[in-house]
Structure 1
Amino acid sequence: MSLTQPDEDLREREVVELDRGWSTVVWNDPVNLMSYVTHVFRSYFGYSKPEAERLMLQVHREGRATVASGPREEMERHTEAMHEFGLWATVEKQ
């Protein structure tokens, strides 16, 4: 075991922790029905009906909702999936 190993492990953990600070945000739009947005949140993310409805209402009332948080690549995949469902979504650094 070398004396540099702990520093390397620490740096690797810091990089992983830095990568977790991303979110997928869904934005309100004039096109999609609230029931459809709820359906997308339930079918794609696996949210319960109450949680999907809570997030949908947040989108509707506040104009946006954070629907997922985690590593950047994962949030980019979620954002792309929301686009495929016809929803407006972006990736944001937390």
Structure 2
Amino acid sequence: MPREQALPEFDTETLVTTSQPFQLIVWNDEVNTFEWVIETLEEVCGHTHEQAEQCAYIIHFKGKYAVKQGEYEDLKPKCDAITERGIGATIEAMAE
């Protein structure tokens, strides 16, 4: 007769949710200045001046850059604030 083995206990009160992460993409254009993009990234995304400057150069040379990653609900207001300043921005799901 097989021996009974105790099953591990699980906390049934804890729910685990997984969600796909998103990224906030800022797009290059020929209208906005480096200074305006840098100021926007500092104020909207909370980047340091150095981070914002690096992002601005990558945006300029690559055409776009993911300046922030996170949950959609956190990125949406930032995306809206950036586009309200006349800078192109979108939110995209990150590839798994």
TM-score normalised to the size of structure 2? 0.79
Residue 4 of structure 1 and its aligned partner are, at CA, apart by 8.4
Which structure 1 segments of 5+ residues have no match? none
Which residue is equivalent to 2:37?
37
Structure with the largest fraction of helix = 1
Distance 2:92 2:62 in 1: 17
Distance 1:55 1:65 in 2: 7
Which residue is equivalent to 2:19?
18
Letter paired with 2:19: L
Which residue is equivalent to 1:79?
79
Which residue is equivalent to 2:59?
59
Which residue is equivalent to 1:69?
69
Which residue is equivalent to 1:5?
12
Output the aligned Cα RMSD. 2.0
Identity percentage of aligned residues:
25
Letter paired with 1:5: T
Distance 2:75 2:47 in 1: 16
Letter paired with 2:74: E
Distance 1:59 1:75 in 2: 18
TM-score normalised to the size of structure 1? 0.80
Residue 46 of structure 1 and its aligned partner are, at CA, apart by 2.1
Which residue is equivalent to 2:6?
none
1:5 partner SS? coil
